[in-house]
Amino acid sequence: MSGEPVWIDSHNHHYLTSLSVLSDLSQRGLSGLVEASWIPVRPSSWSTLEDLFRWLTEVERQRLSRIGVRLMVALGVHPRCIPPGFSSNVKRLEGWLEMNGVVALGEVGIDSGSEEEREAFREQLRVARALDRPAIVHTPRMRKAEIARLELQIIREVGFPEELAVIDHFNAELLNELPKGRYMVGLSLQPGKLSVGEAVELVYRLEPERILINSDSSTEPSEPSWGLELLRRLSERDGELARMAGWKNAQRFFGL
């Protein structure tokens, strides 16, 4: 693609991935990562999250610079990572979101549907709205359409700009059942979420300017190269579509 970046992976937890794997992806066309904060256990305190934030903003950029991959950071409290004392500390997010290199709130949203998760989502959206930061919004594997509708309702109730929200882990179910809006669509190419073939079919049913492609790589089974394979297939038919989905939309959405 004439030296242009092929892929900005718009949502992942690659701070848990070895540098050798990321170096291989870089050589194949990965140009940037939006790493979103998440850990696989519920934090025992708010300070645990701030240690994670420090890891992403201080250590990870230096690590990725060794292989020429640009790091963008999304910070927030995942619905499965809400610590004790969340409400008394959530305002501390403001300072973190204003840091250099932090481009979004994320990963946030609702997983089980509990009132605790709903209120945490509302409070974080208010913080991001005040700072004009975009938000990466998680949708769960179970009750996906039901929870996504609830999240969209809360986004609208809070007055968070829809065009600054990406509804992530999007699939055909959400395409058919989620109310239309100005939100972005995140396609997570990961086993159990979306295969390359399913993503190809979905892309051609979506508005090109709303698509973001990500790996959601984490401690769960992941295939971090699937995004590159998707973009290779798209480029064979429509180079501009591949560029939009691969990196142009991400640059616009995250203000890069």
Break the chain into its structural domains and give their ranges: 7-254
Task: Please give the model's pTM, rounded to 2 decimal places.
Answer: 0.96
CB 45 within 8 A of CB 85: yes
The whole-angstrom separation of Cα 96 and Cα 121 is 17
The alpha helices in 108-195, defined as continuous H runs, are 115-131, 144-158, 172-177
Tokens read off for 100? 């250099």
CB 46 within 8 A of CB 20: no
DSSP symbol at 59: I
- Tell me what the mean pLDDT of segment 189-198 comes to: 97
Q: What CATH architecture is 7-254?
A: Alpha-Beta Barrel (3.20)
The whole-angstrom separation of Cα 128 and Cα 74 is 11
* Contacts of residue 237, Cβ cutoff 8 Å, sequence gap at least 6: none
Question: Is the peptide bond between 94 and the residue preceding it cis, with omega within 30 degrees of 0?
Answer: no
Give the tens place of pLDDT for each residue, 22-41. Answer: 999 999 999 999 999 999 99
- Decide if pLDDT at 2 tops 90: no
| Average predicted confidence (pLDDT) for the chain | 96
Task: Give me the pLDDT at residue 1, please.
Answer: 40
Task: Give me the pLDDT at residue 151, please.
Answer: 99
Helix pair 115-131, 144-158: axis angle to 10 deg: 40
Tokens read off for 1? 């693609």
The whole-angstrom separation of Cα 8 and Cα 255 is 13
Tokens read off for 153? 């309702």
- Tell me what the mean pLDDT of segment 243-253 comes to: 98
Task: Give me the pLDDT at residue 15, please.
Answer: 98
- Tell me what the mean pLDDT of segment 221-246 comes to: 96
The whole-angstrom separation of Cα 48 and Cα 114 is 22
Phi, psi of 187 (to 5 degrees): -100, 115
